[in-house]
Amino acid sequence: TFYYYYYIFIICRFFESLTYHLFNQTSYKATKRKEVTRRINVLYILRVGRERKDTDDAVVVKESNIVPSAPSIEVNPVCGNIPSSPLRIPPSPLRVPPSPGRFSMSPKLDRIGSVHLTMKQVARATQNFSPSLKLGEGGFGTVYKAQLEDGQMVAIKRASKEHSEALRSEFRSEIELLAKIEHRNLVKLLGYIDKGNERLIIAEYVPNGTLREHLDGVHGSCLDFSQRLEISIDIAHGLTYLHLYAEKQIIHRDVKSSNILLTDRMRAKVTDFGFARLGDTEPGNTHILTKVKGTVGYLDPEYMRTFKLTPKSDVYSFGVLLVEILTGRRPVDSRRSPDEKVTIRWAFWKHNNDETMDLVDPQMKGAVDEKIFKKMLNLAFQCAAPTRADRPDMKSVAERLWAIRVKYLKRAGRE
């Protein structure tokens, strides 16, 4: 009996020991698995954190060129002064998607803007529309600089007294479209008056004149290559917003140097929406119009021939404008010889004959990088292709200009 119980005891101890050993092995493996998993998770988190940090470093969040949350760089008007920090060369603002909710609630026309004036207040602000306060004049009317009672400076566009139906339509079109847009590269509508024989548009005042005036040297300030590149990017961003990100697609129809205003920091803003039209919501569709509108030299030849309007008509005008920015010449100049009257044809001929650097505006201060200049010129020619199918869209144009900008800063050793 003793040996019986002794053997039972030995067997029990054996199984107890075996069970304990197996349990510890399983627990050890489980613990190891947990430890390995934990380490993998930690490494993953560290990697993701590192990637996120890299991304955060690359994108400087500021007021946007396309959307308010996207990055941008302020350019000092002093020639050749370009930011040197690599953090100031972020990816293109167009890579930041717009917030769809921001543009979905345009104000009604009876609640536009933040400025509400009577005709008496307007007369006082403009000193009875004094010629000394005149900023410019066009087919629609005259633009005056005005100071409100609170000190705010505004621009007031007063319609001509010839109250044709076309002018009324242009006025209504401009305020309806301006009410739908809000972008740093587009002039902002603050208010309007449509009463009796008076029709006025009250808009943001942009103090530094037009791009054309600066190309002509009217303000005595130099536009160096870097400033011209920044201005081109600003215009492209403004047009991209109109074509893609406004509540409804807008085609400007009158993109030209005299419709580009410059701020005191040399940022560009597109203005004058009198000829603008809403685009088609269906991709590829076109507007067939009964009358072509625009400015000679900037008009899309396919639009003139077919009366079909698309955003690519603005792309053509931008291509002509880009050549104007680089050469300083107006699109059509009757004072020139027959071979040089139409600037874009002359520029194309020069470029094809390896005389590209002859196109550089003699007023442009500082050295010009030949490779970068040629890249911009090639892009301008693509935008101004005779048929719209061969032209890029404005978003692609803006992205390519931004890429040119990055290369320019790198080649200049300023990154």
Is 142 in contact with 134 (CB distance < 8 Å)?
yes
Q: Is 161 annotated as a binding residue?
A: no
Is 239 in contact with 255 (CB distance < 8 Å)?
yes
Beta-bridge mates of residue 268: 262
Q: Which residue has the tokens 């550089």?
A: 360
Please state, in angstroms and rounded to a whole number, the distance separating the CA atoms of residues 99 and 46. 30
300 belongs to the catalytic site: no
272 is written with which tokens? Answer: 């004058």
CB neighbour class for 2 (10 Å; exposed up to 12, middle 13-18, buried from 19): exposed
H-type alpha helices, 181-338: 211-216, 225-240, 301-306, 311-327
Q: What is the number of residues in the chain?
A: 415
Is 236 in contact with 229 (CB distance < 8 Å)?
no
Beta-bridge mates of residue 309: 287
Please state, in angstroms and rounded to a whole number, the distance separating the CA atoms of residues 127 and 156. 12
Q: What one-character DSSP code corresponds to residue 133? A: G
DSSP per-residue codes, 168-225? HHHHHHHHHHHTT---TTBPPEEEEEEETTEEEEEEE--TT-BHHHHHHTTTS----H
Per DSSP bridges, beta strands 260-262 and 268-270 are antiparallel
Question: What's CA 285's distance to the chain center, in Å?
Answer: 24
Q: Pick the catalytic residue from 224, 254, 314, 393.
A: 254
79 is written with which tokens? Answer: 């020639």
Torsion of CA 101, 103, 104, 105, to 10 degrees: 110
Tell me how far CA of residue 136 lies from CA of 164, 175, 367, in angstroms. 21, 19, 33
Specify binding-site residues for ATP. Answer: 157
Q: Which of the residues are catalytic?
A: 254
